[in-house]
Amino acid sequence: MQRDVMEYDVVIVGGGPAGLSTACRLKQLAEQAGQEISVCLVEKGSEVGAHILSGAVIEDRALAELFPNWKELGAPLNVPVKGDEVYFLTSAEKSVKTPNWMIPKPMHNEGNYIVSLGNVSRWLGEQAEALGVEIYPGFTAAEYIVEDGAIKGIVTGDMGVDANGEPKAEYTPGMELRAKYTVFAEGCRGHLGKRLISEFKLDEGKDPQHYGIGIKELWDIDPANHKEGLVLHGAGWPLSESGSSGGFFLYHAENNQVVVGLITDLSYSNPHVSPFDEFQRMKHHPVVKQYLENGKRVSYGARAITKGGLNCLPKMTFPGGVVVGCDAGTLNFAKIKGTHTAMKSGLVAAEELFKAIQAGRANDEVTEFTTAFEASWAWQELHRSRNFGPAMHKFGTFLGGAFNYIDQNIVPMPFTLHDTTPDYATLKPAAECEKINYPKPDGKISFAKLDSVFIGNVNHAEDQPCHLKLKDASIPLSVNLPKWDEPAQRYCPAGVYEIVETAEGEKRFQINSQNCVHCKTCDIKDPSQNITWVTPEGAGGPNYPNM
């Protein structure tokens, strides 16, 4: 197949904070040096920001390094945090509010901002375009180009292919975007980043990466219940009932809106757990419900979170490129924040790649990035919090919380804890675990999956190849169903996977790929590691407003 070829100095995959920060800094450095540099960024969403989902409370530290005058430029950081509350939910009705002095220092949010990270990304996209970055939304990075052992760019996805893989009338082949260096900034569990880490053995000597699934809703609430700038976090019920861990958040944004969500660690062991249903019942707790009553749900979404921290952080460079942000795993889970560290990894990448291009280099390994990143405040922050996740996994919410309070507030521990069990390997057989009877949604505070997917504005082109690939189509029924009651039915927050019984009484594993919100949970949690998420046709998936 003859493909169009375009050549750039740098190609960036992903229009989130890390990728856009890399693009902006490259152009800034070129301008300062009086040098031309061509930068192209591809984004699989219909627009920059369409697939971005995060809490989000962010620090402006990296943003201020990139754009010291961000306020004058109109960055949408409009709601400074005015109050922090942390709760432990002891039952469906009761809770304990944590005294301020007992909260680990990283969880304090003074000086931070409640934002829509989608809107922050949209704004960063505008800055990037103003600096001369070529941005192509609606284009997927389907493959990377490897030649002579080095990455030399990407191939964008073909458009107009039917479900059988045959070209339709409107078929358009993907393009080769070749570059001196390629930056992978796809976000958590990027499908190319995952392969690069494996192919170049970037995770050698590291703990296996750990993940959570974050499920979030945006609400318009009664102005009488709104407290702009208030940040709530909490743990305990309902996850504690099923032996799971994680925590909830509720942030009071502008315009009488709140965002509410639940992060469920994907290290849970009971295959009957449904993170979606845990979230729906969590909203009925009085601590949360008091704000949502008489409100209206506006949007819904879900996204996996790379939360392993420093112990799981792979080597980030390889011949011809670098992997940055949540594609690598730079989130600081002790802070429940990753935007500032993701952006910083992008800034460091831009600075080192620009030096290499200035020196006439191309497609080699920019090892200087590792030295520079390890000298940065982002790496120091991750090192300081390296024990947070392993402590919670090893010791549970109470003892893990006590350990982290001492480690973060009093005396830093002189040793490093490790968690070496991958999240997919933690499930126990269904027969050994208690079934969970989740309450039916009431349509006011709690809702059904498919109703939720509808307001996530999820859309995929009709008649295209399924982007959820099974290595062995027999495994869901022959292995996963008898052993784990096929947990894909429950860990997916969008109703993509179903066990369907035919009229003849036979069972069939059905994939409703049109529902997919691109959270990647199936790629992470499937106990047989039989599901691989790849990019669907460009612009497919959710279209998140204000998320």
Catalytic center residues: 54, 303, 339, 492, 516, 519, 522
Alpha-carbon distance of 178 to 3, in angstroms, equals 12
At 110, the amino acid letter reads: E
| Positive or negative: CA dihedral 66, 71, 75, 79 | positive
What values do phi and psi take at 297, rounded to 5? -75, 130
In terms of residues, how long is the chain?
547
**Bond from prior residue into 99 cis (ω within 30 degrees of 0):** no
Alpha-carbon distance of 168 to 23, in angstroms, equals 35
23 HSE (CA, 13 A, CB side):
33
Cβ neighbours of 122 (radius 10 Å): 18
Helix, strand, coil percentages in the chain from 3-state DSSP, rounded to 5: 30, 25, 45
Q: Alpha carbon of 193 to those of 13, 26, 115: distances in Å? A: 10, 21, 27
Alpha-carbon distance of 494 to 456, in angstroms, equals 10
Q: Which of 448, 423, 450, 443 is nearest to 517 (CA)?
A: 450
Q: Which of 229, 219, 225, 259 is nearest to 79 (CA)?
A: 229
Kindly state the tokens that stand for 193.
């980043």
User: Mapping DSSP to helix (H, G, I), strand (E, B) and coil, where does residue 45 land?
Assistant: coil
Q: Is 426 in contact with 480 (CB distance < 8 Å)?
A: no
